[in-house]
Structure 1
Amino acid sequence: MSRDSRYPRAMEVTPRSAADEVDRIVDAWRRERPDLDVEPLTVFSRVSRLARHLDRARRGAFARHDLETWEFDVLSALRRAGEPYRLSPGTLVAQTLVTSGTMTNRIDRLERRGFVQRHRSPDDRRGVLVQLTDTGRERVDAAMSDLLDVESRVLDVLAPAERPRLAALLRTLTAQFDLHE
């Protein structure tokens, strides 16, 4: 695969059979602490390292569209809501897993950038709805396209048939946490 300079070096494909840094870490722990079952490291150290690489790649995709990760999170929640791209601050809090104070600050900042507008709720005179502006929609749509390009390139090392299986296994692992939130 040719490497596009926009993508981190860590995203380059390496042979599946090659030992990686996690193999070296696990081998060292097995040598130093043979009394421990270090098998969880073979999975979670890779998940952790992958998460760090993906975080860098995602931040790069968003930065190319002059967005911070948190801005993308809020804008994409509004975009996913569908026309008219409005949600209550409480719904945004639930979808982005931040406090209401943090969300108020984020909405203020996004409003100053022209990405969202506040509107009175037609159903509750005290309620507010946050609506994505055309500028915000254009920005989040462009960033989403770039993000999917980055993430698709990461998945290129897997056969298409392997992707649903990986997604299912990861869903099983994350469900234990998602159910408690």
Structure 2
Amino acid sequence: MIKRKANKRTAKFRDSKADASRRVPAKADPQADPVETILTQWQRERPDLDPAPMQLFGLVARAQFLSTVYFNELLEQWNLSRGSFDVLAALRRSGPPFTLTPKQLSDSLMLSGAGMTSRLDRLESLRLIVRLPEPTDRRSLKIQLTPRGVRMIDEVVPAIVDAQWKIAATLGPEKTASLTKSMRQLTDALTKPRDR
């Protein structure tokens, strides 16, 4: 049996979780939430571990998944996906002449070059973007919205923002502001150097 020695951070975290009311419920309804199912299974299989932090990261991942599904369904009427919408939106918000390099797009969308290429191919086939050669370097390209692409994204963005407002309204302004602040803190914690 492989035993992993608990580090100081783990021990400190466990000590801070001594209050039973703060622990994840041991009996979760598997039908209620896949994240709860994961926690319940780990508590059963590894009772020596406290999987409570998994709930946070599991919910973040599930929210991302569900939002992608939700917005993909909304974007179907324009023959777009969330990924292609993100490209059009990045170009549009860059301002006239709505042009970026592939690297600028990849950095903006946190996407690999290979993933970006497939999105650009599809958008080009829909005549929503064009690839323009860089005059000073034939090996370089710039991506530009076509007039058709500008009209498309200007039509789609209000629908997306409206849908986001409707979802946020279910939380209310105070919870929305609090959740936004907490998510920013989580993002900062993941961005800053961490102990290994």
For this structure pair, what is the TM-score category when the shorter chain's length is used for normalisation? 0.7 to 0.9
- Deviation, 1:62, is 1.6
Partner Cα distance (1:102, 1:125) in 2: 23
**Which structure 2 residues correspond to residues 132-171 of structure 1 after superposition, within 5 A?**
132-171=145-184
Q: Could you report, residue by residue, the CA deviation over 1:83-134 in whole angstroms, capped at 9, with x for unpaired residues? A: 1101112211222333334434433332221101223335x24332211112
Q: How many residues align?
A: 161
Q: Could you report, residue by residue, the CA deviation over 1:148-172 in whole angstroms, capped at 9, with x for unpaired residues? A: 2222222222120222221121112
Structure 1: gaps of 5 or more residues: 1-18
Partner Cα distance (1:28, 1:103) in 2: 37
Higher relative contact order (CA 8 A, sep 6+): 1
Partner Cα distance (2:152, 2:38) in 1: 41
> What's the TM-score, normalizing by structure 2?
0.68
Contact 1:120 1:129 in 2 (8 A): yes
Taking structure 1 as reference, are residues 128 and 52 closer, same or farther at Cα in structure 2, changes over 3 Å only?
closer
**Which structure 2 residues correspond to residues 4-153 of structure 1 after superposition, within 5 A?**
20-21=32-33, 22=35, 26=39, 30=43, 33-121=46-134, 124-126=136-138, 127-153=140-166
Partner Cα distance (1:29, 1:101) in 2: 35
Q: Over aligned residue pairs, what C-alpha RMSD do you find?
A: 2.7
Structure 2: gaps of 5 or more residues: 1-28
Partner Cα distance (2:38, 2:137) in 1: 58
Q: Is the partner of 1:119 in helix, strand or coil?
A: strand
Amino acid at match of 1:152: W
Q: Is the partner of 1:140 in helix, strand or coil?
A: helix
Which protein has the larger Cα radius of gyration, Structure 1 or Structure 2? 2
Overall identity of the aligned pairs, in % = 31
Partner Cα distance (2:192, 2:87) in 1: 22
